[in-house]
Structure 1
């Protein structure tokens, strides 16, 4: 059997996105060609690589194995290219970086803008994932690095300190709970909630913690950012859970209050999760070292 690098990149993109269509788009390939390539890989191996369903695709055990080895091969190729490019006037490449909701919305934009401007030949493939999914992706080699909460089991990986993130309950001013200094998340579940979009890491985390009480938040609306959540909370649509940094920014222009959450998961140390800093491609290592230097 013979797989070329295009096959490997396409298959890895398909597994990462859970969709042949999105995998084809990421690989700059038409859908028919992408489907034919994946079918050809399955025929060559004699086993199915993907489970196809109405909601997308997921890898079979053989597909998991192929994705793992594809990531290793492509990662090693990037190491080689990066090292050779350094002889030709600068690093080149793409860094696969995963992060949770707070990191993407509150911390990374201000850090990545100047870094990208300083490194015009390096691109960043940034995606949001829950911490446990990020750890798995880094361990399997489908991501170069990830920013995760400290509760995620990162055993066997390196974890560099990054930021402290506190989740708080955001309320309209005058709300009955605004008189409290601290509240347990479980106590809020009878209130109407303004939540984040389905699939966001924080919303999945809140749903998981509510499920431990055999309940779920009553979501009135889902929005795409902390700022949008705060705006609707200020308008009286409900209450929400946001990063404290987002609350402090939004309170300057919005009629909102906050109450601390007593739950242990509400205060999290965010870390940069990697397999081995020394073995990262040069351009990925440069980004990780930069982010680690910006910790506070």
Structure 2
């Protein structure tokens, strides 16, 4: 196929605007040239991408397939340009690191800070996602390295164990649940919760787990980070589920009771994952090695 990035970006604009005319205007391309480019793409593929209607256009099934890939390529192209532009300012490396909530709020900040201090010419693009989304991003080449909590790593990825964390319930010391040695997730679903924002990977996981039990978590308030969550819990506004590492940190200066969740999934085994550590860019390999050295568990790769 002889498409270029201009063709793909034009198609995205036409599809989103529902009109070749509007798409051409958004792309700063003459209407005749835009029509010729779209027709050329259809001729190259041998299938219609747009259904011309009396007013505007409708994207065909083939067009939707192309649109998905075009958006992915456009994002990757923009990321590539951004990373290369940074070399003009002395940057020597850029690592795309996807992580789950546990690692992002627990072990990673201190480790990444130490790494960046040792490597001042490296930039890290850190994004929070569900573990399943991280695996897909690694397989598709969208992420360089992933830190996630999952039991099964699919074929095609290497993984290194870097430790574990457990999800726990936190509440005030006077709360009725404070004296429990452990508790099942299903037992606390009638409580008022303080939680993270809906897009947080850990929050999405908990909501899905509750849904499998035929229940819903009832939130009194959502915040952006565990600092605010723990402070609200200390004031008696509700209970919360957080990683033990976060609970241990905040109860140094907040009055919190911690009750471990007894569910098997509450034990979160953290792993570094990548497609092939040997094929990562140099700074990516250094970050994997740095994370592995800071871990307290086995760091041998598994396939």
- Aligned equivalent of 1:62, options 39, 56, 66: 66
Query: How many angstroms apart in 2 are the aligned matches of 1:146 and 1:92?
Result: 21
TM-fit CA distance, 1:122 = 1.6
Q: Match of 2:27?
A: 36
Q: 1:224 to 1:115 in 2, by over 3 A?
A: same
Contact 1:171–1:178 at 8 Å: present in 2 too? yes
Contact 2:91–2:123 at 8 Å: present in 1 too? no
Q: 1:34 to 1:109 in 2, by over 3 A?
A: farther
Query: How many angstroms apart in 2 are the aligned matches of 1:248 and 1:272?
Result: 23
TM-fit CA distance, 1:136 = 0.4
- 1:294 equivalent in alignment to 2:294: yes
Unaligned runs of at least 5 residues, structure 1: 15-19, 21-31, 49-58
TM-fit CA distance, 1:119 = 1.8
Computed over aligned residues only, the root mean square deviation of the Cα atoms, in angstroms, reads 3.6
Query: How many angstroms apart in 1 are the aligned matches of 2:25 and 2:237?
Result: 44
- 1:255-293 residue CA offsets vs partner (Å, 9 max, x unmatched): 110111011110011101111111111221221221122
TM-fit CA distance, 1:61 = 3.0
TM-fit CA distance, 1:201 = 0.5
Q: Match of 2:236?
A: 236
1:249-268 matches, cutoff 5 A: 249-268=249-268
Query: How many angstroms apart in 2 are the aligned matches of 1:37 and 1:284?
Result: 38
Contact 1:180–1:259 at 8 Å: present in 2 too? yes
The two structures have a TM-score, normalised by structure 2, of 0.74
Query: How many angstroms apart in 2 are the aligned matches of 1:37 and 1:154?
Result: 44
- 1:205-240 residue CA offsets vs partner (Å, 9 max, x unmatched): 100110011111101100111121111000001000
Q: What is the total number of aligned residue pairs between the two structures? A: 258
Tell me which structure has the larger Cα radius of gyration.
2
Q: 1:112 to 1:221 in 2, by over 3 A?
A: same
Q: 1:34 to 1:187 in 2, by over 3 A?
A: farther
Instruction: Give the match's secondary structure for 2:106.
Output: helix
1:105-184 matches, cutoff 5 A: 105-151=105-151, 153-184=153-184
Q: 1:183 to 1:33 in 2, by over 3 A?
A: farther
Contact 1:138–1:274 at 8 Å: present in 2 too? yes
Query: How many angstroms apart in 1 are the aligned matches of 2:24 and 2:245?
Result: 45
- 1:3 equivalent in alignment to 2:7: no
Contact 2:153–2:159 at 8 Å: present in 1 too? no
Contact 1:135–1:152 at 8 Å: present in 2 too? no
Q: 1:237 to 1:155 in 2, by over 3 A?
A: farther
Contact 1:71–1:142 at 8 Å: present in 2 too? no
Query: How many angstroms apart in 1 are the aligned matches of 2:117 and 2:241?
Result: 33
Contact 2:210–2:217 at 8 Å: present in 1 too? yes
Unaligned runs of at least 5 residues, structure 2: 17-22, 43-48, 51-62, 297-303
Query: How many angstroms apart in 2 are the aligned matches of 1:37 and 1:288?
Result: 43
TM-fit CA distance, 1:73 = 8.8
TM-fit CA distance, 1:102 = 1.3
